């Protein structure tokens, strides 16, 4: 499968900088970063680059170069999912505040919700990349969600753990 179109679900600390660098280095690939938070997407799209939702040294220059060329920020999640051959899941995984593992384990509800949305919105085969920090075997849980929709689309799930550090993310990427 030739990758021409990438989507990233989650325009936060990981998704925003990672996809900006990926788009800058790969001008032939369209990269669309989506989020349910409309204000955050508006900030990523703001004319004044000092209003980006995240400050990282070097980030605004990269956004200036790639945004509108092959880097896009959008709230149209279903469209970006369906157009992409590869989807990064970079949603937040806060510590659980309830039930088993309370105060320690990662709450996977946002990961599960976006897996359901990918399953619902996809009409072609896709590679899904776990970019959130997730417990071992979550890829299998994501695959179970994706495979049980019955719409015949095939998914492969890869794990690509993120080690970026806030403050040096552009240099590290």
Ligand X SMILES: NC(=O)c1ccc[n+]([C@@H]2O[C@H](COP(=O)([O-])OP(=O)(O)OC[C@H]3O[C@@H](n4cnc5c(N)ncnc54)[C@H](O)[C@@H]3O)[C@@H](O)[C@H]2O)c1
Residues that bind ligand X (CB under 6 A): 9-15, 34-37, 40, 77, 90-93, 110, 113-114, 132-133, 162, 164, 166
User: 9 or 86, CB closer to ligand X?
Assistant: 9
Residue number of the CB atom closest to ligand X: 12
C-alpha to C-alpha distance for 138 and 105, rounded to whole angstroms: 13
- 115 close to 123: Cβ distance less than 8 angstroms: no
Taking the alpha carbons of 140, 97, 54, 33 in that order, is the dihedral positive or negative? positive
Least distance to ligand X, CB of residue 17, Å: 9
Least distance to ligand X, CB of residue 131, Å: 6
Least distance to ligand X, CB of residue 101, Å: 15
User: 85 or 162, CB closer to ligand X?
Assistant: 162
Using DSSP, state whether 134 is helix, strand or coil. Answer: coil
User: 51 or 133, CB closer to ligand X?
Assistant: 133
User: 27 or 101, CB closer to ligand X?
Assistant: 101
Cα separation values, 11 from 3, 77, 145, 153, 161, Å: 21, 12, 23, 26, 16
């Amino acid at each position: 499968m030739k990758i021409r179109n990438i989507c990233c679900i989650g325009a936060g600390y990981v998704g925003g900088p990672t996809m900006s660098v990926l788009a800058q280095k790969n001008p032939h690939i369209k990269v669309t970063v989506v989020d349910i938070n409309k204000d955050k997407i508006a900030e990523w799209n703001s004319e004044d680059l000092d209003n980006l939702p995240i400050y990282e040294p070097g980030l605004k220059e990269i956004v200036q170069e790639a945004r509108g060329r092959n880097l896009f920020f959008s709230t149209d999640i279903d469209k970006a999912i369906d157009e992409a051959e590869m989807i990064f899941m970079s949603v937040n995984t806060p510590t659980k505040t309830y039930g088993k593992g309370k105060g320690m384990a990662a709450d996977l509800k946002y990961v599960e919700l976006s897996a359901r949305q990918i399953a619902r919105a996809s009409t072609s085969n896709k590679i899904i990349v776990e970019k959130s920090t997730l417990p071992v075997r979550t890829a299998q849980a994501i695959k179970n969600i994706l495979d049980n929709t019955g719409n015949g689309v095939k998914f492969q799930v890869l794990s690509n753990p993120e080690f970026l550090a806030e403050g040096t993310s552009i240099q590290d990427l």
